[in-house]
Structure 1
Amino acid sequence: MNQYDVDRPHVIQDGRRDAPPLVLVHGTGASSATWEPVADRLAAHHHVVRVDLPGCGQSPPARSYDVPAQAARLAALLDDLGLRQVTVAGHSSGGYVGTSLAEQRPDLVGSLALVSSGPSLDALLPVPLILRFLLGPPFGPIVWSRRSDAMIRKGIEATTAHPVDVPDDVIADLRGLSYRAFRTMSRRNTEYLAERSVPERLAVLDVPVLVVFGAADPRWEPTSARRYEAVPTARVEMLPGVGHLPMLEATGRTADLLLDFTARTRDRRA
Structure 2
Amino acid sequence: MIKHGMHVVHDGRREAPPLLLVHGSGASGDFWSPLVPALAEHHHVIRVDLPGCGQSPPVPSFRVPEQASRVATLLDDLGLRQVAVAGHSSGGYLATALAEQRPDLVGSIALISTGPSPDALLPQPLIIRVLLAPPLGPILWARRSDSLLRKGISATTARAVEITDELIAGIRPITYRTMRAVLRENTAYLAERSVPDRLAGLEVPVLVIFGDADPRWEPASAQQYALVPNTRIELLSGVGHVPMIEAPAETSRPLLDFAKRHKFAP
TM-score (norm 2): 0.97
Query: What is the match of residue 257 of structure 1?
Result: 254
CA distance in 1, matches of 2:259, 2:246: 21
**RMSD after superposition:** 1.2
CA distance in 1, matches of 2:124, 2:133: 10
- In terms of mean alpha carbon deviation, does 163-172 or 254-263 score higher? 163-172
CA distance in 1, matches of 2:159, 2:209: 18
Is 1:104 the counterpart of 2:122? The answer is no
Match of 1:162 among 159, 164, 178: 159
Is 1:183 the counterpart of 2:165? The answer is no
- In terms of mean alpha carbon deviation, does 178-187 or 134-143 score higher? 134-143
1:188-232 C-alpha deviation (Å, 9 max, x unpaired): 000000000000000000000000000000000000000000001
What amino acid maps onto 1:15 in structure 2?
A: G
The residue matched to 1:114 in structure 2 has which SS? Answer: strand
**Aligned-residue identity in percent:** 64
Paired residues, number: 264
Query: What is the match of residue 82 of structure 2?
Result: 85
CA distance in 1, matches of 2:25, 2:4: 17
CA distance in 2, matches of 1:50, 1:157: 23
* CA shift for structure 1 position 75: 0.2
Is 1:266 the counterpart of 2:263? The answer is yes
What amino acid maps onto 1:75 in structure 2?
A: A
What amino acid maps onto 2:263 in structure 1?
A: R
* CA shift for structure 1 position 167: 2.5
What amino acid maps onto 1:21 in structure 2?
A: P
What amino acid maps onto 2:16 in structure 1?
A: A
The residue matched to 2:144 in structure 1 has which SS? Answer: coil
Is 1:232 the counterpart of 2:235? The answer is no
* CA shift for structure 1 position 173: 1.6
* CA shift for structure 1 position 7: 4.3
What runs of 5+ residues in structure 1 fail to find an aligned partner? none
2:54 and 2:170 in contact (8 A); partners too: yes
TM-score (norm 1): 0.96
* CA shift for structure 1 position 64: 1.0
Greater length-normalized contact order (CA 8 Å, ≥ 6 residues apart)? 2
1:124 and 1:221 in contact (8 A); partners too: yes
1:9 and 1:53 in contact (8 A); partners too: yes
The residue matched to 2:179 in structure 1 has which SS? Answer: helix
What runs of 5+ residues in structure 2 fail to find an aligned partner? none
The residue matched to 2:166 in structure 1 has which SS? Answer: helix
Deviating above 4 A after TM superposition, structure 1's stretches of 4 or more consecutive aligned residues are none
- 1:1-270 → structure 2 map (5 Å cutoff): 7-266=4-263
2:54 and 2:172 in contact (8 A); partners too: no
* CA shift for structure 1 position 101: 0.1
